[in-house]
Structure 1
């Protein structure tokens, strides 16, 4: 979970076989705990891709106080130039995380150790963006 400039607001770690839409509640909870102080605007927008187009996701997003922007499955891109894609911000944040070698390939056996390294990497990214 990142903001419009790619600043990390929340993170959730799970197995690769779990669909992203199942993690929306945990991710939004972590964003409140980790980066809730950073969100100053009254209206918070949440841009999600087609994999999150489920009624339970929309309900969870609404309950947590976000305005959703979820492209529907089967919806064609009408005018690419009027509404530019925002997903690249998240992909750029993933690329920043891959810059940390210990996170690129998970060498840690314990989740606690991996989460410690992940939080350290996110703090470094946040420090670079703020300075």
Structure 2
């Protein structure tokens, strides 16, 4: 085999190996499934926050949330961005954790609300 043929064959093999590696690392799951997971996580996160925080107060202000329709889009985009580099298995693991936390957060429904303490840091605080 001539040197030119060998170089061409090696080039084709390198391109094939590179394409396979790129597909393996970049292709995580179908877009429809990925967006469905992100929406599910956004809905669960919104529900967890409402269960645990709504009605409590910080200082003299009561914590209230806007309607769900207004908060879900932002949360959805947040979960799309946060999960874009994760595999299906990693996302499913996070979903299981969120489902468990949602179950735990339901204990706060109908319970007396409490005063929450929030610690504010100064801009030049070295602990930040």
Who wins on radius of gyration, i.e. which is larger? 2
**Superposition TM-score, scaled by structure 2 size:** 0.25
More helix by share: 2
